[in-house]
Amino acid sequence: MKAVECVKKRMDVAALGELLVDFTCNGVSPQGNPFYEANPGGAPCNVLAMLAKLGKRTAFIGKVGDDQFGHFLRQVGVEAGISMDSLMVDAHSHTTLAFVKTAENGDRDFSFYRDPGADALLTPDEVPEHVIAGARIFHFGSLSLTGEPVRSATQKAVAAARSADCILSFDPNLRPPLWSSLEQARAQINWGLGQCDVVKIADDELLFVTGETDFDAGAAKLMAQFPNLRLVNVTAGAQGSIAYYQGLRVFQPGLSLGGVIETTGAGDTFCACVLNFLLEHGLESLTSQDLSQMLRFANAAAYLVTTRRGAIRSMPEKEQVLALL
């Protein structure tokens, strides 16, 4: 794998996308009003936070507002061990906020304060191509494809990553309220799928993209439509996950040990663990045993995150994950 073997790569993973505050309900006041906890989040940065926990060198590319939330998020990223040198600040727009309602089973419903938030205003001129070129893996998601100018910025970043022989990782991360239409969401997610080598796709996203409820049928259709995909990981929450790679199909059940509070960041944690495995083992000639090992660790880490609130500050230590295996 050229990207992993290249000695000139100074960064393990660079990621571009949204950085925001998730306001998660955490109790009720004596007057019956909900308490909201401000949890730092945003899928790409969640991924980097877990990778940093695993000892990897990471860099984030994005934009926040020049407000208390933006300053808070920069500091959180630095504390998590992520390089925030490529985090831009917009003096004329607010940091994106999300309000999260959690169901009894931990599933979430999002309401976004964006339209546009600072993350959506990243411009192509602000994309640090040298940072991307210096990374072994470049990771991005669909939320930076919802509109301009960040869509063009993302496209420029992806082109830079491809030119630099990075491995490209994509997360569809479907959030319908952030799109002008589901047709636009499908078109942009398909664009992302057509660019990447590795994808983490949730069961509902697989259905959205392929129309298939059967995971095997959906994955087959996905890999036929996008032959660039080298590794497809389908996640299904507590049910577990499946890896599809060069004709191999490996399933690993999820952990059901109780104590689930919410699922925020679980998929991002899973994604980070997969990327960590690829950094350490490469993307060539993986065996069923390799894929099983990868999924077991990723499933366990994702479970641990569901037992805590938030994401960036809730990532488990490697030893905590290994204790569950």
Supply the pLDDT for residue 111: 83
**DSSP sequence for 88-133:** EEETTSPPPEEEEEE-TTS-EEEEEE-SS-GGGG--GGG--HHHHH
For residues 252-271, one letter each, b for 16 or more C-beta atoms within 10 angstroms of the residue's C-beta and e for the rest, the string is bebbeeeebbbbbbbbbbbb
Supply the pLDDT for residue 6: 43
Q: Which of 301, 265, 298, 294 is nearest to 278 (CA)?
A: 294
Supply the pLDDT for residue 61: 98
Q: Average pLDDT in the 29-52 region?
A: 94
Supply the pLDDT for residue 282: 96
DSSP state of 316: P
Supply the pLDDT for residue 103: 65
Tally of CB atoms within 10 A around 37: 14
**229: containing domain:** 2-322
Chain centroid to Cα 125, Å, comes to 24
Residue 157 has pLDDT above 70, yes or no: yes
Indicate the residue type of 304: L
Tally of CB atoms within 10 A around 92: 8
* pLDDT bucket at 26, cuts 50 / 70 / 90: confident
Residue 175: CATH number of its domain? 3.40.1190.20
Supply the pLDDT for residue 258: 84
The tens digit of pLDDT for each residue in 230-247 reads 999 999 999 999 999 999
91 contacts: CB under 8 Å, gap ≥ 6:
65, 66
Percentage of the chain exceeding pLDDT 70: 96
Supply the pLDDT for residue 108: 64
* pLDDT bucket at 4, cuts 50 / 70 / 90: very low
Supply the pLDDT for residue 2: 41
Supply the pLDDT for residue 162: 98
Residue 7 has pLDDT above 70, yes or no: no
3-state secondary structure of 51: helix
Residue 110 has pLDDT above 80, yes or no: no
CA distance 189 to 208: 10
Query: What's the predicted TM-score (pTM) here?
Result: 0.94
Indicate the residue type of 315: M
Domain count, the chain: 1
